[in-house]
């Protein structure tokens, strides 16, 4: 059965785009994760559709992956198909004051293109370590900006695997959520509507945001970015710090000493190390402040007891 499924993927994508038992630690910014049963890299919308169709026909679970930020994959890996939309689908084109980009385009690359064309409004996203697809799904944001502020429309595959273009007014974008996340759609591309501005002003704003990130975030260690969602009326990092958890460790995982809102992989941390640390942090903050921290990091795979 497994070889037959692999053969089907290879017929559509070519054997070089299909991997078996691929270590997910090579494809996540946490540098953590066991093997994916199938790991495939489509290059076109049609290939994405055909790949998902194979999954549906064979009742195999699948997961759409960008560059693996904001993700913790189980030490057991993933029993199913990882469909990576990244380097094979990362085209960026500029049309007057709009940027059209495929789901696999890095936010940093889009920000650089916007700068080169004198288009403002996307500076906030330049340092977010993710792809456009993932940013749309979770309405990524930083420094007062969010994806909903710059999106014009998004092209997705809906639950029937039909191509649909959704205007931002119908995207139901809120804090770390969207209709894409609610419905399980697959983002293929998006159009961003930006504003013409002085190139040097855009550059200075990007430089300011970069300096803030470098000074405050643990960019020298593997992590998945902000670990917890921001509780209403609070900041997760401050709650964790005030709970006395700066530097708290479980195995190779640690609450960053530089920014308590980040969990970092200091020494070959396992997914279970991270999971346990996050639970400990959530429990301690609840005990001390009666505020429950919710994960911003997505968990993928089997995290059952005994891992």
CA proximity to 193, closest of 166, 164, 153, 155: 153
Q: Is 15 exposed, middle or buried (0-12, 13-18, 19+ CB in 10 A)?
A: exposed
SS3 content of the chain, % helix, strand, coil (to 5): 35, 30, 35
Distance CA 217, CA 22 (A): 30
Output the six-digit token pair for 159.
């639950």
Q: What is the DSSP letter of 263?
A: E
Distance CA 82, CA 173 (A): 25
Distance CA 286, CA 292 (A): 5
* Given 226, 256, 275, 282, the catalytic residue: 226
Please say if 226 is a catalytic residue.
yes
Residue 26: strand, helix, or coil? helix
Residue 259: strand, helix, or coil? coil
Distance CA 5, CA 233 (A): 49
* Given 176, 223, 256, 282, the catalytic residue: 176
Please say if 176 is a catalytic residue.
yes
Is 84:40 a contact under the CB 8 Å cutoff?
yes
Distance CA 258, CA 238 (A): 12
Catalytic positions: 176, 226, 296
């Amino acid at each position: 059965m497994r070889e037959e499924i692999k053969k089907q993927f290879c017929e559509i994508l070519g054997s070089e785009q299909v991997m078996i038992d691929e270590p997910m630690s090579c494809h996540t910014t946490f540098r953590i994760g066991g093997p994916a049963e199938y790991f495939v890299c489509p290059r076109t919308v049609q290939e994405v559709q055909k790949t998902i169709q194979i999954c549906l026909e064979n009742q195999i679970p699948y997961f759409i992956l960008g560059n693996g930020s904001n993700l913790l994959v189980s030490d057991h890996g993933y029993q199913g198909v990882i469909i990576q939309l990244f380097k094979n689908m990362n085209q960026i084109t500029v049309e007057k004051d709009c940027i059209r980009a495929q789901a696999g385009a890095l936010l940093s690359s889009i920000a650089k293109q916007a700068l080169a064309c004198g288009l403002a409004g996307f500076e906030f996203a330049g340092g977010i370590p993710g792809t456009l697809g993932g940013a749309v799904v979770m309405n990524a944001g930083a420094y007062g900006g969010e994806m909903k502020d710059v999106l014009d429309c998004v092209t997705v595959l809906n639950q029937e695997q039909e191509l649909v273009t959704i205007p931002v007014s119908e995207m139901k974008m809120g804090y770390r959520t969207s209709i894409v996340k609610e419905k399980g759609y697959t983002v293929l591309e998006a159009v961003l509507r930006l504003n013409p501005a002085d190139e040097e002003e855009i550059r200075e704003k990007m430089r300011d945001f970069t300096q803030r990130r470098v000074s405050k975030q643990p960019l020298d260690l593997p992590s998945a970015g902000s670990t917890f969602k921001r509780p209403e009326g609070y900041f997760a990092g401050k709650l964790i710090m005030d709970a006395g958890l700066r530097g708290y460790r479980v195995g190779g995982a640690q609450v960053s000493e530089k920014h308590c809102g980040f969990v970092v992989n200091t020494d070959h941390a396992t997914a279970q190390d991270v999971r346990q640390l996050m639970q400990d942090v959530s429990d301690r903050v609840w005990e001390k402040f009666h505020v429950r921290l919710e994960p911003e990091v997505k968990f993928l795979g089997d995290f059952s007891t005994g891992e």
